[in-house]
A and B are shown apart, each in its own frame.
Chain A
Amino acid sequence: MTVADALRELGFRSLRVVAQLGQMLLFALAIGRATILPPYRLRRYLEEIHNLGVLSLVIVCISGLAVGMVLGLQGYNTLVRFGAEGSLGAVVGLSLIRELGPVLTALLVIGRAGSATAAEIASMVTTEQLDGLRMMSIDPMGIVVSPKANSMVFVMPMLCALFILFGITGAYFVGVTLMGLDPGIFLSSLSSSIRFRDDIVGSMLKALIFGFLAGLIATFRGYTSAPTAAGVSAATTSTVVLSSVAVLICDYFVTALWGFDI
């Protein structure tokens, strides 16, 4: 391949990315429209939130606990070198709340629920279920897509909070029960170091944004998939890859812009 070919290929690909981003923006607007305009499908929302909960609850709790325990162990062993093991609560709490909670929860939910959402919508495309709805004058954006996308935004902060709670519990178990730290010191170092706006609100904001990205990408990929079996698997894989990368990139910018000052 010559340099010119490579350049042409690069240009072609960038154009495709830009076109896709534009399409996705329009798709997001269509979701917003379907959300705001009646009919309001409260039942569909409850169903979707229930589904997302069932899919993600257990893995989020278990992973939170495991990550918290590792943090507790690593944190304790490191801090003890400086005689600063009393700050374990602060170290673990801040890293979970500000960074690990939102990001790891998002990655877990993407792998479990994002891929399932994309696969479900894509298979509805393949089997003409969405066209069937259209032919009955029912807008699939309203009945299928927007409940799925919005529930993801709604559920992510709750799952993230849960992840953080289980994480802190895990760290508490390792630090206090196994390593013999004083429970009062652990908890006071945790509570005195957390700032509401910077840490808690920032964390929830991240979770909301990640939920938006995960919901948007999963539904978009599913909805625009090719109506074939290969289309379903392509939609699923690319949902996981795209939304994970989007979350990680976005994480940097939210952190920078929200002004997490130390």
Chain B
Amino acid sequence: MDSVRSPAPPHVQFENVHMAFDDRVVHRSLSCSFARGRISVILGGSGSGKSTLLRLIGGLVRPDAGRILVGSSDVTQLSEAELFDVRTGLGMLFQHGALLDSLTVFDNLALPLRERALGSEAEIAERVREQLSSVGLDGVETLLPGQLSGGMLRRAALARAMILRPEILLCDEPFSGLDPISLRRIESLLAAINQRSGTTLLVVSHHIASTFRLADQVVLLLPGRSVSGTPRDLATSSDPEVAGFFDEGSPTQSPLLTDGASRRMDT
């Protein structure tokens, strides 16, 4: 499906973003953009700054330099209060769900609705149930997050990320640690969200096969640079670092991974 879609204007744009934690540089002059209404997959070795990239978009961390445009607002310039407005249009699926473990699944989903007083308690209950059954979770309302299996937890977290109907959904490794069936299920839920409501999806992943199935666009984070294109472009790239990443036969042999690993041991 990637090649049939026509180009779309950018929804999220990084311009010369520099990001470091103390003296560890994560992004060096990163520029890339993510198209509106499309599924972009962000690939990169561990420690290459994929999660940091999503956190930068949400304004959870601030870059040292550069601009990050979400729609028309530059999140690097906003105060915490102004960021709250931008985040209304952002849903985030965290790697480990990040549901509040002291609340039931129902209350976790109801929380953002109650906080904004979006409707009566009955309307909220209705919307939460609808949202849960849209990810195939019925009858788990009264369970605590700790009582769900990994795949169910991921889907509950996805339901919470989507409950305010955001324009942009950020997913941090939604496929990690899942069995193949749960993986395909999350994958088709993500595709359905994008198709049904035109939500812009930014998906961080390690999973090459699902990247090929999902992605309209891939942004590959390499040490000190990034490469974007369609999955096919990148897989057939003549750049050995890029092609190496798609070489599923020996993923651990890719220059990126070894480089990333050695960088991590340096500090």
Q: Show the binding face of A for B, using Cβ within 8 Å.
A: 39, 124, 127-129, 131-138
Contact B100–A132 (Cβ < 8 Å): yes
Q: Does B87 contact A (CB under 8 A)?
A: yes
Q: How far is the CB of B76 from chain A (nearest CB, A)?
A: 16
Closest to A128 in B: B98
Chain B residues 104 to 136 lying within 8 A of chain A, measured CB to CB, are 111-112, 115
Contact A136–B96 (Cβ < 8 Å): no
Q: Does B164 contact A (CB under 8 A)?
A: yes
Q: How far is the CB of A128 from chain B (nearest CB, A)?
A: 4
Please, which residues of chain B bring their CB within 8 A of the CB of A131?
55, 58, 60, 92, 94, 98
If A135-B90, A137-B87 touch, does A127 touch B98 (CB 8 Å cutoff)?
A: yes
Contact A137–B84 (Cβ < 8 Å): yes
Please, which residues of chain B bring their CB within 8 A of the CB of A138?
111-112, 115
Q: Which of B58, B96, B98, B99 has the most CB of A within 10 A?
A: B98
Q: Which one of B92, B100, B115 contacts A135 once the chains associate, using CB atoms below 8 Å? A: B92
Q: How far is the CB of B202 from chain A (nearest CB, A)?
A: 13
What does the 1/0 interface line of B74-112 toward A look like (CB < 8 Å)? 000000000011011011101110111100000000011
DSSP class of B's interface residues: helix, strand, loop or mixed?
mixed
Contact A132–B98 (Cβ < 8 Å): yes
How many of chain B's residues touch chain A, expressed as a range? 20 to 34
Q: Which one of B88, B99, B100 contacts A137 once the chains associate, using CB atoms below 8 Å? A: B88
Contact B164–A136 (Cβ < 8 Å): yes
Q: Show the binding face of B for A, using Cβ within 8 Å.
A: 55, 58, 60, 84-85, 87-88, 90-92, 94-96, 98-101, 111-112, 115, 164
Kindly state the separation between the CA atoms of A134 and B92 in the bound complex, as whole angstroms.
10
Interface pairs (9), CB distance under 8 Å: A39-B115, A127-B96, A127-B101, A129-B101, A131-B55, A134-B87, A135-B58, A136-B87, A138-B115
Closest to A132 in B: B98
Contact B60–A129 (Cβ < 8 Å): no
Kindly state the separation between the CA atoms of A128 and B160 in the bound complex, as whole angstroms.
14
Closest to A138 in B: B115
Contact A136–B98 (Cβ < 8 Å): no
Contact B112–A136 (Cβ < 8 Å): yes
Kindly state the separation between the CA atoms of A133 and B87 in the bound complex, as whole angstroms.
11
If A138-B111, A138-B112 touch, does A132 touch B87 (CB 8 Å cutoff)?
A: no
Q: Which of A129, A131, A134, A136 has the most CB of B within 10 A?
A: A136
Please, which residues of chain A bring their CB within 8 A of the CB of B101?
127, 129
Q: Which of B58, B84, B95 has the most CB of A within 10 A?
A: B84
Counting from the closest, the 7 A-B pairs by CB-CB distance are A132-B98, A137-B84, A128-B98, A135-B92, A136-B112, A128-B94, A137-B87
Please, which residues of chain A bring their CB within 8 A of the CB of B115?
39, 136-138
Please, which residues of chain A bring their CB within 8 A of the CB of B91?
135
